[in-house]
């Protein structure tokens, strides 16, 4: 476990080194993104970086950034120079499953505006096919959730609403999360289109064609991955 934490940190530090003074950055969410935020805070405090502005993908990341004196602003239509975030699964095309930390909607809203979206992870997140290990988190509105879940099941989804310590998990946006499994042969693009068409679905954790680079830490070092390479 301690070894995986060290790997996450190595990937995060590598990506945080890409951030330059005076740029607009997006801060991801989760245990790996947390290391990147800590490293950015360290670089700012050390005077290696100045004049950066950040947009956070969750309240937790915003709170951490503020505690490190990283200036945080709301998301505006202005592009972000770089966004650094973790992932739950990464396929060879750098398509991702994200959202096991519950932040998928804000993450997608921020990452779609990134000039560069750097994914950071340890090697256990690499898969040959999305859905191999992780469920797909789907954010759904609370009102009428049983009806929305029924519509998801009609599309072939198996799974359950996420619960933490017995209670339904509520996102920063006040919604629930459904953790879904789909048949192995589902095409990712058509699955995404179908899910986005389901009444009651706010957003899915499929991040297709969005990542520009991935830094994946292995016991042999940090690998820099590009789509299809
Ligand atoms: O909602 C959470 C995010 O998508 C995370 O980036 C993702 O779950 C990976 O988190 P971790 O780095 O903790 O494995």
pLDDT at residue number 94: 98
Asked if 151 and 167 sit in the same domain, the reply is yes
Of ligand 1's atoms, which has the minimum distance to the CA of residue 100? 8
Asked if 145 and 40 sit in the same domain, the reply is no
Measure the CA–CA gap between 173 and 170, rounded to whole angstroms. Answer: 8
Provide CB contacts within 8 A for 125, sequence distance 6+.
86, 87, 88, 89, 90, 216
Question: Residue 185 pLDDT > 90, yes or no?
Answer: no
Measure the CA–CA gap between 221 and 50, rounded to whole angstroms. Answer: 29
Is 108 annotated as belonging to a binding site? no
**Mutation to probe ligand 1, out of 33, 164, 169 (largest number of atoms < 8 A from CB):** 33
Is 144 annotated as belonging to a binding site? no
pLDDT at residue number 131: 95
Q: Which residue has the CA at smallest separation from atom 9 of ligand 1?
A: 87
The verdict on residue 225 lying in a domain is no
Asked if 109 and 183 sit in the same domain, the reply is no
Question: Residue 159 pLDDT > 90, yes or no?
Answer: yes
More confident residue, 227 or 181: 181
Question: Residue 229 pLDDT > 80, yes or no?
Answer: no
Asked if 62 and 165 sit in the same domain, the reply is no
Measure the CA–CA gap between 127 and 184, rounded to whole angstroms. Answer: 13
The verdict on residue 227 lying in a domain is no
pLDDT bracket for residue 227 (50, 70, 90): confident
Q: Which residue has the CA at smallest separation from atom 6 of ligand 1?
A: 86
Pocket of ligand 1, beta carbon within 6 A:
28-33, 85-88, 98-104, 107
Is 86 annotated as belonging to a binding site? yes
Please state the separation of Cα 205 from the chain's center in Å: 8
Cα–Cα–Cα angle for 86, 225, 91, nearest 5°?
65
pLDDT, average across residues 88-115: 98
pLDDT bracket for residue 186 (50, 70, 90): confident
* Ligand 1 centroid – CA 9 distance (Å): 14
Contact 138/205 with Cβ under 8 angstroms? Answer: yes
Asked if 47 and 114 sit in the same domain, the reply is yes
Residue span of the structural domain in which 21 resides? 2-124+208-218
Question: Residue 147 pLDDT > 90, yes or no?
Answer: yes
pLDDT, average across residues 31-38: 98
Asked if 84 and 23 sit in the same domain, the reply is yes
Asked if 188 and 212 sit in the same domain, the reply is no
Longest dimension (CA), the chain: 55
Bridge partners, 178 (sequence order): 138, 161
The set of catalytic residues is 107
Contact 144/176 with Cβ under 8 angstroms? Answer: no
pLDDT at residue number 1: 66
Is 196 annotated as belonging to a binding site? no
Asked if 103 and 196 sit in the same domain, the reply is no
Of ligand 1's atoms, which has the minimum distance to the CA of residue 120? 12
pLDDT at residue number 73: 98
pLDDT at residue number 210: 98
**Domains contained in the chain, number:** 2
Asked if 7 and 79 sit in the same domain, the reply is yes
The verdict on residue 226 lying in a domain is no
For 100, other C-beta atoms within 10 Å of its C-beta total 20
Measure the CA–CA gap between 171 and 104, rounded to whole angstroms. Answer: 9
Share of the chain above pLDDT 90, in %: 96
Measure the CA–CA gap between 33 and 16, rounded to whole angstroms. Answer: 10
Domain of 92: which CATH number?
A: 3.40.50.1360
Six-digit token string for 105: 């909607």
Asked if 148 and 112 sit in the same domain, the reply is no
Q: Which residue has the CA at smallest separation from atom 3 of ligand 1?
A: 99
């Amino acid at each position: 476990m301690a070894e995986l934490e060290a790997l996450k940190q190595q990937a995060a530090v590598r990506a945080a080194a890409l951030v330059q003074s005076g740029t607009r950055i997006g801060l991801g969410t989760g245990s790996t993104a947390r290391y990147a935020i800590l490293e950015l805070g360290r670089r700012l405090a050390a005077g290696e970086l100045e004049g950066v502005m950040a947009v956070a993908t969750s309240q937790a990341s915003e709170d951490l950034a503020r505690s490190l004196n990283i200036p945080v602003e709301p998301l505006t239509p202005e592009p972000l120079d770089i966004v650094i975030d973790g992932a739950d699964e990464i396929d060879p095309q750098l398509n991702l499953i994200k959202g096991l930390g519950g932040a998928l909607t804000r993450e997608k809203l921020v990452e779609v505006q990134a000039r560069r979206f750097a994914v950071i992870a340890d090697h256990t997140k690499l898969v040959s096919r999305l859905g191999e290990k992780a469920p797909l988190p789907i954010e759904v509105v609370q009102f009428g959730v049983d009806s929305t879940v029924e519509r998801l099941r009609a599309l072939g989804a198996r799974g359950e609403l996420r619960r933490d310590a017995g209670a339904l998990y509520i996102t920063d946006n006040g919604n629930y999360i459904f953790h879904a499994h789909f048949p192995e042969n589902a095409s990712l693009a058509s699955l995404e289109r179908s899910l986005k068409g389901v009444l009651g679905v706010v957003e899915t954790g499929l991040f297709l064609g969005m990542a520009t680079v991935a830094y994946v830490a292995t016991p042999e070092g940090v690998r820099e991955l590009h789509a299809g390479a």
